[in-house]
Structure 1
Amino acid sequence: MTTVFKAFKHTKLFKHCISNHLYKSTAAIPNPPYKVLFFGSDKFALVCLQKLYQDLLSPEHPIVSRLEVVYLPQSKGQELAVQKFAQKAKLPIHEWKQIQNVEEFDVGVVVSFGKLIPRSLIKSFPCKMINVHGSLLPALRGAAPIARAIEAGHKETGVTVIQIKPSHFDHGKVLAQSKPVTISDQTFAFETYEKLATIGAELCIEVLTDLPSKLANAREQDQSGVTQAPRLTLNDTLINFQTMTSTDIWNKYRAFGDQKYFLLRCMFQEQMVKLAEIKQCSESQARVVAEDALPGQVFFHVPTKTLITKCKSGYIGCTKLIIQSKVILAQDFKNGYLQRELKKGKTVFFTACEPIKTTAKQTS
């Protein structure tokens, strides 16, 4: 340390500089309550908004002193849960890209919003913007972390709250993370969705309660663990029995195939078939399948009235289908289509669909 610096460090100017630096690095983020601007769309986001609203209504306002909502314009298939709740609760609402008076808010909270937040908007919040994401980041970055976790056969997932980083989805520093949540091979996405929504809301409150400390101790994501969870499209619903195992198909069904828009699809005699109700195949059901059966070949198990289809490995059951926009039971398919072909001495196959040209549809 030089003689000049030793002398300077005892001056009033030096002490002022140090004091000012400490203020900006620590005291710049005040303790709650905060004026919160909430960005969200679906039921996953709604649970968090309801939690913030409960705090707003409490006499002490320990965390939220003001709450307003940013919503996305309505589009086909989009949930409007957040917008509807805000209107019913008489919370002020702002349409995306028509937000007013952002400078009046302390912190932005983003949950299942699906839009990249501009750098200028992020910088408008003196207490930063945070995002509640439905995975244990850096795993499953993207629009559909819950569905993709189940589709991939993951055994656990969770929730992460991060500080929003400009120009990227789900890349920000980690502020808090839940304990792992178990996913069994019988767990459906809607069950995990509901569980993680509740955990996410509680984690959001935890972060806002101690925001200065959470921001000061935020950690970077481990880039070695990054995986992606892209938006779902109709092409994700296409089934190929020659390349997919029974586990692959069952996981897709649990992940999104039980939803009306995302029913799993294959072909039968140049007609698209939607598999509306899929079941795992038992040992007794598998016995109806011929030993020399090929992937995609269809059989019928009489006691359970279930269509049994040979997969790349294993077998999958189906009890309800949609053909030509008509819902039919497996029994009806057997009495009509299946028996007609068998009487001709033909075998019946479900084959793969051609890729579908469609716009992407987002899910959580």
Structure 2
Amino acid sequence: MNLIKEEWRFFLENKNKVYQCFYTIALIAVVYTYSFKRYMVDDTYVEFTLFSLLLSLVTFIWHLYLHKWSKESLFAVIAVGICLVLLPSEFYLIDFAPDFSLLSFFLLSVSVDPKQSNLVTIIFYAKILLAIGILLFYINGKIPDVTLYRPAKHLVRHSYGFMHPNSLSMFIISLFYDFSLMRKKIVPISEILWLIVLGLLVFSITDSRTGLLIFAVILVTSLFKKQLLAYKISGKFVFQSIVAVFVLGTLISYFYQAKSSVFDFLNSILSGRPKNAHAYIKAYGFKFLPRRVPDLHYANGARIFNENYYVDSLMRQGILVYLLFPIMIGLQTLKKRFTLYHFILILSAFLIAMIEDYGVSLGICTILLFNYFAVPEETSYSIEENQDLKQQNLRA
């Protein structure tokens, strides 16, 4: 009995730290579950998704107990309820990792504790352990090396156990994001050089142009991190920029024309996603409520993949469910401020989603925890306000 009392006293005295530990476990579960999708059969994967969602739900309820209700938490309940009622359960349990990630985002993004300084570091090392496990299974022949041949370059692309070259690139980009976020204001030049070597090595293996482009963005922002952290921008501008990407990601595919040199250029730099997404839009259009969208195929029988997150999700989820995501983002950003450094990384994640859905996955891009990366109110000044303060200091 005394032992129980002592444990309860310890819990009460350290309730925030205990909560932070539980939240971290729930977020790691999301990361691992998102990655396991490529390896597990449906029945086993369902168990993992259910377990992960249950952890996220318990975390959300625990957060309510500690901090009471807010507009964000109320909307999270509404959004999750709408998803569970309208979306077919196989969407988020089996078939579509983005839908699982969406539910996880609703529950965990509002539950994060901004005071947990070591969160990104722990997530980074959890991903490192996951990568080590995958590579060990690959070395022992348990996971195949899926290879793809690019005739134009006479190049063989490798996955080394990650099931697809793009998946390997995706995972490394996830590590780059977290590594940049967890570092101090000044990143040593030696680390920058190591990042360049690693980034080029991954590109030579995967030939992923998307991965190389995002790597370049992360590298430059890391190099100038100290300077970029000095500038703050309004959450309103952040939200407007994200919405612009949502709209742009849809409209480019919607208005795509094969004979247009402009669209041909956009289709080229976006790895053919606009053309494929346009084919699906032309065949099925958009609806208000969720539905299952059948696959399209080329004349030779090969499947046409629609990997544009914005078009694919809007078609499957319907307008009602689709709008829940940007609304939640608005609730978490509009009344806050962000550094220019974090804004660039946030925007890059949403730009990725035009080509690969992992850009808006909490299991890959930790930067989507807006409440965590927002600037604390007492130090929150926009670029314009910073300029005014500098002028006032000069006059003084």
TM-score (norm 2): 0.25
- Give the number of the structure whose residues are more often helix, by fraction: 2
- Give the number of the structure whose residues are more often strand, by fraction: 1
TM-score (norm 1): 0.27
